[in-house]
Structure 1
Amino acid sequence: MLYFLDLMGTAVFAFSGILQARRLQMDGFGVLVLAAVTAIGGGTMRDLVLGVQPVFWVTEPQYLLLIVATCVVSLFLVRASSRHFARKLLLWADAVGLATFTAIGVNKALAVGAPPIVAISMGVLTGVGGGVLRDVLAREVPLVLRTEIYATACIAGGVVLTGTLYWGGNHHIATLACIAVTLLIRLAAIQWHWRLPVFGAGDETKPS
């Protein structure tokens, strides 16, 4: 199940990179780069931090082939969509990838013996890392650094997964619960514009 979810998350995040590249009117190579960075960037950073060598896509090139295939298929689909629809689709595709990769990151960290708090951190890194690189290359402030509920959703999902396993829950159920919680929180934040409090708001210096 985890392998299937990992492939699905790779395709979805690659698609979100393609949508961003389309918005910026990049050429074919730019589309491929942005798709690849978004899809495998977070997992690459996770493996490097955990000391997993080589990183996953070096020994499993099917991830790179999946990214290329997603680019080829998506180019035809994206061209037929309006810019407003593509923007909405980007947010929803990003949310699905975020939830899936969070669960993958937590599980991989636990598999190498990391404690729960480190596993949750690796879930956040896996979930947001690719999107951060994508937004940086697109010259935008990454979603994780804005006031939107983004990394917070990953933390909540990671806590659910590790907590369920700690109390003896089924691994598959814990993973699905993590994905569901992360996805629901992120989609709710998109739908109802949930925001975190802004640091320093209202602290403007008053004249003496």
Structure 2
Amino acid sequence: MEFAAILSLLDLAAAVVFATTGALVASRKEMDILGFMWLGVITGIGGGTLRDLLLGLPVFWVQDATPVALCLLVAGVVHFSAHRVSSRYRLLLYLDAFGMALVTIAGAAKGLDAGAGPLVALVMGVITASFGGILRDLLGQEPSILLRRDIYVSASAAGAALFLGSLAVGLPREGAMAAGLVTAAGIRGLALWFNWSLPVYRARPGRAPDERGGVK
């Protein structure tokens, strides 16, 4: 299978997974079916849309509307089946971890193919992974993934970095993608399971004016 086809499949798979998380948020907020579809589509295609716009590429779902159709289908299915999931929020988090890993690698690879350097490609991976979730949380009035203490963006960055590093040392693209995907999803999954978080900034009292050499 050609690498471009692999990227397209990753985009499709990620759109389905993220659309599911968007629809699950809609179920938690007890929205109607249009709300399910709106959150499903926005979450499913949001990150890839911003990535393609920043890279100056044709937006992936404008060329082929299959991702939008799949997002709508998934949202409809979740609308009629979410009540069967006993712990929707936990499921949402683990699905989101898998979707994040998929789009991280797809975003970084697409950045490279567009001629961007490794650092820009890494940023494209993180943007692709996080922007759809940011929109979902904003519209669903959930705590933003950027403001929570969870390990999320750092897991995406680690997966993208390993993918790019593996390519730099000569690993085949498919192997590098698998390594990056497992790393991103694994770190995020372990963080959820063990409640890991990065150290946070702690506010400290400022120095008095005389200590800074100011006027007494």
TM-score range, shorter chain: over 0.9
Rounded to whole Å, the distance in 1 between the matches of 2:206 and 2:27 is: 43
Say whether residues 1:65 and 2:66 are aligned partners: no
- In the TM superposition, 1:1-208 aligns within 5 A as 1-53=6-58, 55-82=59-86, 85-199=87-201, 201-204=202-205
What do you get for the CA RMSD once the two structures are aligned? 1.6
Q: Secondary structure at the match of 1:149?
A: coil
Please list the CA deviations of residues 165-201 of structure 1 after superposition, one character each: whole Å capped at 9, or x if unmatched.
Answer: 11111000001111100000000110111111112x1
Q: Secondary structure at the match of 1:198?
A: coil
Amino acid at match of 1:52: L
The answer on whether the counterparts of 2:15 and 2:67 sit within 8 Å (CA) in structure 1 is yes
* Length-normalised TM-score, structure 2: 0.90
Rounded to whole Å, the distance in 2 between the matches of 1:78 and 1:110 is: 38
Give 1:105 shift: 0.2
Rounded to whole Å, the distance in 2 between the matches of 1:65 and 1:73 is: 12
Distance 1:106 1:71, change over 3 A: same
Give 1:140 shift: 2.6
Please list the CA deviations of residues 131-165 of structure 1 after superposition, one character each: whole Å capped at 9, or x if unmatched.
Answer: 00100111233112221100000110011011011
The answer on whether the counterparts of 2:11 and 2:48 sit within 8 Å (CA) in structure 1 is no
The answer on whether the counterparts of 2:33 and 2:76 sit within 8 Å (CA) in structure 1 is no
Rounded to whole Å, the distance in 2 between the matches of 1:99 and 1:144 is: 16
Consecutive unaligned residues of structure 1, counting only runs of 5 or more, are none
Aligned length: 203
Rounded to whole Å, the distance in 2 between the matches of 1:72 and 1:29 is: 9
Amino acid at match of 2:75: C
Give 1:205 shift: 6.3
* Length-normalised TM-score, structure 1: 0.93
Please list the CA deviations of residues 36-94 of structure 1 after superposition, one character each: whole Å capped at 9, or x if unmatched.
Answer: 111100111111111113x1111110111111111222223212223xx1111000110
Amino acid at match of 1:183: A
Greater radius of gyration (CA): 2
